[in-house]
Amino acid sequence: MNTEKSAMFFNKIGDLKVECFLCPHNCVIKPGKLGLCRVRKNIKGTLYSLNYGKVTSIALDPIEKKPLNNFKSGSLILSAGTFGCNLKCSFCQNWTVAHERPVCYDISPEKLVNKALEFVPDGNTGIAFTYNEPSVWYEFVYDTSILIKETGLSNVLVTNGYIDKRPLEKLIPFVDAMNIDLKAYTNSFYKDVCKGYLNNVKETIQFAAKKCHLEITMLVIPGLNDSIEDISLASKWLSSVSPDIVLHLTRFFPNYKMKDVLPTPRETLENAGEEALKYLNHVYLGNI
Ligand code: SF4
């Protein structure tokens, strides 16, 4: 089934080129070419989403696995993802779906929501868009989110927070909870390791904190973002947004293009946790 779907948030800018406003990269895309996320394509002067209705993974997971520890705890959540990502983190823990073109099957928003309803007797509380970056699945996530809210189930995004303000404002009325990755607290890390900008993610966190339940994940990578100073600065800043924001500090394992870095020592994670608890009321250690 051909599920290419006309994209939201782009302008035609002459010579059949388009500019995409879905995420802060604001790609200018020539006809026949893809954006940086590799899932939005300019076809004859119109931008299309290539992953609309394409699912690579679907599973009924404990909600704590998202991770969300302080939202509907103890319940399960139907978790779905597609392919594509708008950051290029060399440590990506989900690279097979984020940066490859894996096998997909087709599903409509209606079918996905019906599946979520079928699993309610098993303890399902809603749908989580996860596994790859949901903001580059925007049109499908948006259409499905409207339907989920009509059922009364919960709608969850597990995201890198790299999304422009306008699409976020349009989607967030249909979102109950988010887990946003804060990949580090330095511009240089975002620029060099993820090919993005810290400030854009901070803006998403500030906005989301006012609109829905919010938890943050920091993957602590030895030698790269694990200094107590950085953990302290990140926690202090999160606390200035709200001391009740939940922070998950999770253990890194070598993956993708970062196979030469050792897993995070338990002691590093525990020290980071102690530091974060000076500023935040809820800190959890993960992957240990
Ligand atoms: S969503 Fe994709 S095409 Fe659009 S600006 Fe971001 S990376 Fe570029």
What are 161-213's pLDDT values in tens digits? Answer: 999 999 999 999 999 999 999 999 999 999 999 999 999 999 999 999 999 99
Instruction: Determine the Cα–Cα distance for residues 51 and 40; give it in Å rounded to an integer.
Output: 8
Q: How far is CA 166 from CA 17, 23, 121, 204, 257, in A?
A: 21, 10, 36, 11, 33
pLDDT at residue 211 in the model = 98
pLDDT at residue 209 in the model = 98
Give me the percent of the chain exceeding a pLDDT of 70. Answer: 98
Is the minimum distance from the CB of 136 to ligand 1 under 6 angstroms? yes
CB of 151 closer than 8 Å to CB of 113? yes
Q: From the CA of 281, how far away is ligand 1's center (Å)?
A: 35
Instruction: Determine the Cα–Cα distance for residues 177 and 175; give it in Å rounded to an integer.
Output: 6
Q: Which pLDDT band holds residue 4 (cuts at 50, 70, 90)?
A: confident
pLDDT at residue 257 in the model = 79
Is the minimum distance from the CB of 205 to ligand 1 under 6 angstroms? no
Q: From the CA of 138, how far away is ligand 1's center (Å)?
A: 11
Tokens of 93: 């823990």
**Superfamily per CATH, domain 54-286:** Aldolase class I (3.20.20.70)
- Residue among 169, 172, 198 nearest 186 (CA): 198
pLDDT at residue 115 in the model = 98
- CB-based contacts of 110, cutoff 8 Å, min separation 6: 147
Is the minimum distance from the CB of 251 to ligand 1 under 6 angstroms? no
Q: From the CA of 34, how far away is ligand 1's center (Å)?
A: 9
Which residue did the predictor score with more confidence, 193 or 91? 193
pTM, full prediction: 0.95
- Which atom of ligand 1 approaches the CA of 36 most closely? 7
- Which atom of ligand 1 approaches the CA of 26 most closely? 5
* Per-residue pLDDT at 276 exceeds 80: yes
Q: From the CA of 20, how far away is ligand 1's center (Å)?
A: 6
What residue segments make up the domains of the chain, in order of their start?
5-49, 54-286
pLDDT at residue 258 in the model = 80
Q: Which pLDDT band holds residue 92 (cuts at 50, 70, 90)?
A: confident
Can you list the alpha helix ranges (DSSP code H) found in 212-287?
228-241, 266-276
Which of these ranges, 17-21, 39-43, 48-52, 93-97, has the smallest mean pLDDT? Answer: 93-97
What amino acid occupies position 128? A
